[in-house]
Copies of this chain bind each other. A is one copy, B any other.
Amino acid sequence: MIIVARKDITADQIDYIRERVEGAGLRTHISIGESRTIIGCIGDEARLANLPLLSIPGVQSVHPVMRPYKLAARGFSADPTTTVRVGDHSFGGPRCLVAAGPCSVEGSPMMFETGRAVAESGASLLRGGAFKPRTSPYSFDGLKEEGLRILSSVRSETGLPVVTEVLDPRDAELVASYADMLQIGARNMQNFSLLREVGQLQRPVLLKRGMSATLKDLLLAAEYVMSRGNMQVVLCERGIRTFGAETRNTFDLAAIPWLKMETHLPVIADPSHAGGRRDLVAPLSYAALAAGADGLIVEVHPDPETAMSDGDQSLTFAEFADLMDSLTVFAEAAGRSM
């Protein structure tokens, strides 16, 4: 950490800072310039996290220089990308994986129908929400355990592993007993109780970026899960909230290559939520693979016009089959396969 002080800082204030920093087990290096004094802090910066340096008179600015995450940082892993295995497939390997299915599990027949269709088109995982976070308390919030049972039956028939969202730490074990991969949704990216809970389970986690989360926040959320012992985390860019009014969210495409440089965890994209419109799903998917994404999660519904949620952004089976066909050239252009 580097502390920049104004010219008018007193020797006593510098001494005070030095004592506090050294008291936390770091060394200091003081450099006095014409108009600024710089106090370099050498050692484990995390120990200074609670030190309110800015409120010391004379301190102008404070610059952290260490990454606040360790397990999620690129350097933690010998391989550039950790592979996260789900069923017979691995996120982060040569193949780009696609999870597909409806926003909500609405019932058994539609899930079987969807499972068969997306499996046939080449999806690697089945998605579907049994517990649904809804902005309004009056909206449909999922079939809960019945939904989980349906997902599990569809897996038995199709062989597709299941990824589904967990909303409440009390449900984590229940969801893990049915699902192959636990999704943490955007609204829960900083639900630390939930992150700790899934960190104690041995189930891969799909961690979606929060609507106003920086990429460092996202990696710190992953660190929560990993610091509890569960290293199987896949990150997901799904759009952020900005002034942009024409799409549901703003798809932050550069997050994909930035994360690929900064972390060893696999990174996928959710073109359905990012764009919020069926006709944007294909171009956003192409772009995500082109930029190096390890996969996609896509909403598919037997009849989007009757979907109980997110119908506007769900693909029909035929549209999904077309998407899967057209993805191959982009995956190959990026040196991957489908």
Contacts and interface: CB of A to CB of B under 8 A. Distances in A.
A148 to B, nearest CB: 16
A307 B245 CA distance: 27
Contacts of A68: 135-136, 138
Nearest to A256: B283
B246 A240 contact: no
A297 to B, nearest CB: 16
A66 to B, nearest CB: 7
A34 B29 contact: no
A289 to B, nearest CB: 7
Question: Among A256, A257, A309, which residue has the most Cβ atoms of chain B within 10 A?
Answer: A257
A280 B275 CA distance: 22
On chain A, which size bracket covers the interface?
A: 35 or more
Question: Among A284, A291, A308, A334, which residue has the most Cβ atoms of chain B within 10 A?
Answer: A291
A167 B309 CA distance: 28
Contacts of A284: 253-254, 257, 291
A216 B139 CA distance: 15
B34 A42 contact: yes
A257 B280 contact: yes
Contacts of A291: 283-284, 286-287
Given A290-B290, A330-B333, A61 B52 contact: no
A136 B312 contact: no
A80 interface: no
Contacts of A290: 283, 286-287, 289-290, 330, 333
Interface stretch (A43-51, A82-90, A115-123, A155-163): A43-51
B54 A65 contact: no
Q: How many copies of this chain are found per oligomer?
A: 4
A171 B49 CA distance: 27
A113 interface: no
Interface stretch (A92-100, A174-182, A189-197, A200-208): A189-197
A168 B169 contact: yes
Contact of A169 (B33, B140, B170, B254): B170
A245 B43 CA distance: 25
A56 B254 CA distance: 21
B246 A258 contact: yes
A144 to B, nearest CB: 12
A190 B135 contact: yes
Given A2-B2, A31-B40, A242-B242, A253 B287 contact: yes
B247 A250 contact: no
Contacts of A66: 35-36
Contacts of A36: 42, 65-66
A224 interface: yes
A317 interface: no
Interface string A14-37: 000000100000000101011110
B55 A65 contact: no
Contact of A223 (B136, B192, B309): B136
Interface string A214-249: 111100100110011000000000001111111100
A31 B29 contact: yes
A304 interface: yes
Contacts of A256: 283
